[in-house]
Amino acid sequence: MQKVAVIVQDGAEPFGLGSLVEVWGEPEHPEDGTPVFDFQVCTPRPGRVRGRSDYDLFVERGLDATLDADLVCLSPKHGFLEHDPAVLEVVRAAYDRGAIIYAHCSGVFELGAAGLLDGRDCTTHWRYGDLLARMYPEAKVCPDVLYCRDGNVLTGAGSAAGIDASLHLMREQFGAKVATATARRIVVPPHRDGGQAQFIANAVPDCEAETLGPLLEWIVQNLSEDLGVETLARRSHMSARTFARRFRAETGTTPHSWVTKQRVQAAEELLERTDHSIDWIADEVGFGNAATLRHHFGRVRGLSPQQYRRRFAG
């Protein structure tokens, strides 16, 4: 992936565009050695693009910028049910030639209008999930998740989930080390799984509430330990049922799923930066044996540990 084109239109949402710029549009950053992309913002009619929040944009490039882009992003806009035929045409063309298409937030409605959602898992901001399902009944709308990747189409929920979706794609294309360095540069957690809920009940607990933050840090540092629900519940001085309920409320997922994803992520980093055997890595991250690591790694990443190492090592 070398060229990234972002399509903006009248009613441009500044945070949506900004989240794409943060991940894909940064100039050279020698402190972490992460990739620099040919990043271009384009619009159907170059010139002034009306903004959503009391200021406008000036965009010099037209939609020709998408013609050779490896990644074409649809930035969200106000009035997202109004579609420019020229945008739909270039999105379809980009998809047909094999480019990755990423629609952030309400940008997914553009994909529906372009005919790219039929039979495909997709998501959008929680406010628009029901509307998306009604308008495009052949789409497989996942209304509560942070992002979905189905083939060459990536869709993300609103606002900050745009960064999560971009980091997920960065991880797929360039590996865990690059994605983690990118996240560190923009001061966000390195990985939130796409299946996490958009809503987390206790996202901002009051000052007297107990939170699982210290436990989560301990888990990441002790992945080779027994991390079953019963064990973690005892460590948190809760019953297993209370712990499981609290865990989902604070993280948006189950303890087993969260721990598994952390173990896969740790395995990715070891595969990239060491030449240890698959059995050694499986034991180090808590999977116990190579077969279990291969099972979970393949389910999460879609390729085997050996294939991942060949692609990203070094």
pLDDT at 203: 47
d(CA 12, CA 138): 28
H-only helix segments in 108-228: 108-113, 129-135, 161-174, 176-185, 213-221
Q: Which domains does the chain have, with CATH numbers?
A: 3-185 (3.40.50.880), 205-314 (1.10.10.60)
* CB-CB neighbours of 173 under 10 Å: 16
Backbone angles phi, psi at 48, to 5 degrees: -75, 130
Q: Strands 3-7 and 140-141, how do they pair? A: unpaired
The SS3 assignment for 102 reads: strand
Compute φ and ψ for 92, nearest 5 degrees: -60, -40
Beta bridge partners of residue 49, listed in sequence order: 57
Which residue carries 């901001």 as its tokens? 125
Beta bridge partners of 104: 156
pLDDT at residue 272 in the model: 92
Q: Is the pTM of this model over 0.85?
A: no
Burial letters 73-100, b for 16+ CB under 10 A, else e: bbbbbeebeebbeebbebbeebbeeebb
310-313 CB contacts, 8 Å cutoff, 24+ apart: 311/175, 312/174, 312/175, 312/176, 312/177, 312/268, 312/271, 312/272, 313/271, 313/272, 313/273, 313/275
What does each C-alpha distance from 89 to 79, 93, 176 come to in angstroms? 19, 6, 34
Taking the chain (314 residues) in consecutive chunks of 10 residues, what is each chunk's mean pLDDT?
97 94 87 89 98 94 98 96 97 98 96 97 94 97 92 92 92 90 84 65 48 90 96 95 91 91 93 95 97 94 92 83
pLDDT of res. 10: 97
- Specify the pLDDT at position 253: 87
**Separation between Cα atoms, residue 62 and residue 171, nearest integer Å:** 29
Say how far apart CA 140 and CA 133 lie, in whole Å.
8
**Separation CA 126–CA 199 (nearest Å):** 9
CA Rg value for the chain: 21
